[in-house]
Amino acid sequence: MAATVKTLLKSVRQYKKPSLITPMFMVLEALCECLIPFFMSQMINEDALASQGAMAHILKYGAILLVLAALSLMSGVLAGKFGAEASCGFATNLRHDLFYRVQKFSFANVDKFSSSSLVTRLTTDVTNVQQSYQMCLRIAIRVPLQFLFAIIMSFTINASLAWIFVVIVPVLALFLISIMRVVMPFFRRIFKKYDALNNSVQENVGGIRVVKSFVRENYETEKFQKAAGEVRNDFTKAEKILALNNPVMTFFINFATVLISYLGVKAIVDSGTLSGDFVPTELSALITYGIQVLSACMMFSMVFVMITMSVESARRIAEVINESSDIQSPENGVKEMKDGSIRFENVSFKYSAKAAACALSDIDLDIKSGETVGVLGSTGSSKTTLIQLIPRLYDATEGEVYVGGVNVKDYDLDTLRKEVAVVLQKNVLFSGTIKENLRWGDENATDEEIERVCRLAQADEFIRAFPDGYDTYIEQGGTNVSGGQKQRLCIARALLRKPKVLILDDSTSAVDTKTDALIRKAFAEEIPDTTKIIIAQRISSVEHADKIVVLDGGKIIACGKHEELIKTSEIYREIYEAQTKSKSSEGGVA
């Protein structure tokens, strides 16, 4: 826990000042509140009233009480102001640090946490920690001070009765610790179920078209209700246990008040006079201090409940912040890529150490700079896995990958990924104009450069057909453009980087064969020096490539030109004949 707190406190940074000022005002507020009962008892002390003159005595102590009340109010308001500034700033920094860390993660790190869990940590967990931080700055600082001041003042009035508070507090502490031990496992389960709940929502919203197409709304609703019900059940059990705090605290406050009242009155009566060693005004002050002591315990129980809830949140946040990407730029990494040549030397890859089998095995492949290479294979043959090793989205488990004659692990990551542009299988566009999306490839690109790459990607024509042209607004996820349009925009975005290696991961699957052919022709004529790797389902997309790699079961089973593979590779020939027959059948039907 100490390590977790140390990790989180690094995010306070520029909010150290309000974080330190808040407790100072809380000290002043607690001191004022503890002095008020003492001066109140002095004001109504009969002996003082008789000796000094009633009105003068009352005015003197009344003024002191007004000053203390004003100081207490001012301290409370300022503590609230600075506490809110510190806690909100702390939460802002936490979210920044989490998001920054996630941006540095490799694909393997993201796989470890899952996107839904990361969203929960950035939202719910940070909110819990923020609330706890504010309570710690204010209540958690005030409570021990109020408790300490009240105990000291109680002993100055009557030491024998003040011991009642000292005896009761350890009993309360034992009770709170017992509750914490019982409740913590519930919160650990709850946050894991929160992740599952968010995952259900994310999956449903992302696939809403499929859900509606298959009329699965009721099924998805029931699935969500089940996940939400599990969260509710665990929260209910935890809250029922935590709810014991208030009645137990109230019982002890009332018990202590009754006990002090009984013993105090008995002491006054036994003395046989109202001006003995223990007087009614002191009893009144002692009861007030007793309430303050036990109220401090009650406030502590509130902090305790909040902290109990946020301990698991804090651990989850620290887990992400302390997670180091398993892919790092080396010190003094290579910042220049000579050319687009690629070489795989005896490469094998597992997605995790616990995986039973390798996704890729014994990959040896040599690609010359400027070549066009096609990659074919059935679903699950690890085509995407192969190309993800080139820009170091993952690192090879065994063997080495070289780009431009240099091991990819020796490159500065930014340099490597700027020179190796990947259009991934899942095409993603962000909310903003078409120009803003394309400038992800090069934020300083001119309009002429943008139009050029769009012509290469066969996107210029449909963009100009929009009323706003290149200023057309793209909705989140590119929902207002077709699948083929989205693919062409993503290709244009990658081309804008002027990469030495261009990888298209099944990125023309949603365009027609004519447009596919035009894109390939434009690549051959306009970017001949760029190495092009094309993962495709259609042989027509890669049959004119300089080299075609056929994968099966994570292994290269054939490699060569189209004419070679037709003669030497049974799998390639079967795919080709199946697709050729399919085209013939479609032509016959037409």
The residue assigned the tokens 């009340």 is 69
Q: Which amino acid is at 396?
A: A
Distances (CA, A) of 28 to 34, 292, 313: 10, 15, 32
**Class of 2-321 per CATH?**
mainly alpha
pLDDT of res. 278:
60
The answer to whether 508 and 465 have CB atoms below 8 angstroms apart is no
- pLDDT under 70: residue ranges of the chain: 44-54, 206, 271-281, 582-590
In the three-class reduction of DSSP (H, G, I as helix; E, B as strand; rest coil), residue 367 is classed as strand
- Spell out the residues 6+ positions from residue 470 whose beta carbon is closer than 8 angstroms to its own: 433, 434, 435, 447, 450, 451, 463
| Under 8 Å between Cβ of 365 and 344 | yes
pLDDT at 588: 45
CATH 3.30.200.20, applies to 342-589: no
Q: Which two tokens stand for residue 389?
A: 């090793």
Domain ranges, ordered by start, for the chain:
2-321, 342-589
Secondary structure (3-state) at 586: helix
| pLDDT for 585 | 52
| Res 582: pLDDT | 57
Residue 443: other Cβ atoms inside 10 A: 8
- Nearby residues of 328 by Cβ (< 8 Å), 6 or more positions away: 413
C-alpha count within 13 angstroms, C-beta hemisphere, residue 406: 20
Tell me the DSSP string of 459-504. Answer: -HHHHHHSTTGGGPEEPGGGTTS-HHHHHHHHHHHHHTT--SEEEE
Q: DSSP string of 56-116?
A: HHHHHHHHHHHHHHHHHHHHHHHHHHHHHHHHHHHHHHHHHHHHHHHHH--HHHHHHH-HH
Contacts of 526 (CB under 8 A, 6+ apart): 456
Tokens in use for 147?
A: 């408790």
Radius of gyration (C-alpha) of the chain in whole angstroms: 36
Q: Among 404, 174, 423, which residue's Cα sits nearest to residue 304?
A: 174
pLDDT in tens, 527-568: 888 999 999 888 888 888 999 999 988 999 999 999 999 988
Please, are residues 496 and 439 in contact by the beta-carbon 8 Å criterion? Answer: yes
Count Cα atoms within 13 angstroms, Cβ side, for 294. Answer: 26
Give the integer Cα–Cα distance in Å for 15 and 12: 5
How far, in Å, CA of 329 to CA of 500, rounded?
Answer: 20
Angle at 195 between CA 190 and CA 198, to 5 degrees: 120
Question: Interior CA angle at 62 toward 275 and 58, to 5°?
Answer: 45
Contact 195, 164 (CB under 8 A): no
The pLDDT, as a whole number, for residue 238 is 81
The pLDDT, as a whole number, for residue 398 is 92
Rounded to whole angstroms, the maximal C-alpha distance in the chain is 121
CB contact at 8 A, 459 and 518: no
Q: Are 262 and 286 in contact (CB under 8 A)?
A: no
Do domains 2-321 and 342-589 share one topology? The answer is: no
406-407/398-403 β-pairing: antiparallel
Question: Which of 426, 413, 430, 325 has the alpha carbon at shortest distance from 384?
Answer: 426
Return d(Cα 450, Cα 441) in angstroms, integer: 10
pTM: 0.67
- The pLDDT value recorded for residue 579 is 80
Q: How far apart are the first and last CA of the chain?
A: 70
Helix (H) or strand (E) holding 531: strand 531-535
Instruction: Single out the residue of 291, 293, 282, 287 nearest to residue 41, CA to CA.
Output: 282
List of residues 6+ apart from 504 with CB closer than 8 A? 423, 491, 532, 533, 534, 535, 536
SS3 214: coil
User: What is the number of other CB atoms lying within 10 angstroms of the CB of residue 346?
Assistant: 12
